[in-house]
């Protein structure tokens, strides 16, 4: 399952979205994939938490919703082996992590090398890890944002597909800043998946190159408006 994406010749890429929580980014992806012309379709939503709101969003959209609880397994490797089995059973070709709160082993990440995206609520490489909005406020940056990137074994690392910046306003607190960033997340995750699934965004070493045909999309790649 590792390596670069196969040419999809007009076929829609079969995607699993992995969630642990409410799934508002999942919803943005489901909404985009509802268009039959979108180059990807969501065939599975997988969660490590049975109570994740994202599972309800999947069911409402008529998408398979499966829980694999990490608590049922002795270690990460057996938990991930169970997830792999579910992914294989659903014919999944590509993974989007959307608020999936388990650290994945290097072995799992390598198996999905070039076939797994994550969304992170900061302008990477700034502010990796948790509490990114608090980190941004503490650093006093004037711009903050979000990043969709391919997943590498190192946390919050990997070739960047799309970023969006938002201003940090004088009265911002963590909540107001998070809400502004989340709005941008919902815009860029579907855009990133579209660029990758259509073959317009291709990994080249540590970076992602955009094909010329993606030039129109490129204009939105760093949207600064709301
Ligand atoms: C988002 O902020 C995303 O960037 C981060 O986890 C959060 C998930 O939110 N990785 P939601 O479940 O998509 O609403």
pLDDT, one tens digit per residue, over 49-80 is 999 999 999 999 999 999 999 999 999 999 99
- pLDDT 10s digits, 171-200: 999 999 999 999 999 999 999 999 999 999
Residues of the chain with CATH 3.40.50.170: 1-113, 117-226
- Sheet containing 116-120: order of strands: 64-67, 40-47, 13-19, 94-97, 116-120, 143-150, 160-167
The alpha helices in the chain, defined as continuous H runs, are 24-33, 53-60, 76-89, 106-111, 132-139, 174-197, 215-218
The answer to whether 148 and 188 are in contact (CB under 8 A) is yes
Per-residue pLDDT averaged across 208-226, rounded? 62
Confidence category of residue 10, pLDDT binned at 50, 70, 90: confident
Name the CATH superfamily housing domain 117-226: Formyl transferase, N-terminal domain (3.40.50.170)
Confidence category of residue 4, pLDDT binned at 50, 70, 90: low
Single pTM value for the model: 0.93
Q: Say if residue 26's pLDDT is above 70.
A: yes
Q: Which atom of ligand 1 is nearest to the CA of 19?
A: 12
Domain 1-113, what fold? Rossmann fold (3.40.50)
For residue 174, the SS3 value is: helix
pLDDT of residue 221: 54
Ligand 1 centre and the CA of 39: distance in Å? 23
Ligand 1 centre and the CA of 61: distance in Å? 19
Point out the catalytic residue in the list 70, 120, 131, 186: 120
Confidence category of residue 211, pLDDT binned at 50, 70, 90: confident
């Amino acid at each position: 399952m590792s390596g670069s994406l196969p040419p999809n010749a007009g076929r829609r890429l079969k995607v699993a979205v992995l969630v642990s929580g409410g799934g508002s980014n999942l919803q943005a992806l489901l909404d985009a994939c509802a268009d039959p012309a979108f180059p990807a379709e969501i065939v599975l939503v997988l969660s490590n938490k049975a109570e994740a709101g994202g599972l309800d969003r999947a069911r409402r959209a008529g998408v398979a919703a499966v829980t694999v609880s990490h608590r049922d397994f002795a270690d990460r490797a057996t938990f991930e082996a169970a997830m792999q089995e579910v992914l294989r059973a659903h014919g999944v070709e590509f993974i989007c992590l959307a608020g999936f709160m388990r650290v994945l082993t290097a072995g799992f990440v390598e198996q999905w090398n070039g076939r797994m995206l994550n969304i992170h609520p900061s302008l990477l490489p700034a502010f990796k890890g948790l509490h990114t909005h608090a980190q941004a406020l503490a650093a006093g940056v004037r711009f903050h944002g979000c990043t969709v990137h391919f997943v590498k074994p190192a946390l919050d690392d990997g070739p960047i597909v799309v970023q969006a910046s938002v201003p940090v306003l004088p009265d911002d607190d963590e909540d107001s800043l998070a809400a502004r960033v989340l709005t941008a997340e919902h815009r860029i995750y579907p855009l990133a998946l579209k660029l990758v699934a259509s073959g317009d965004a291709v990994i080249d070493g540590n970076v992602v190159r955009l094909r010329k045909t993606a030039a129109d999309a490129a204009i939105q790649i760093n949207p600064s408006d709301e």
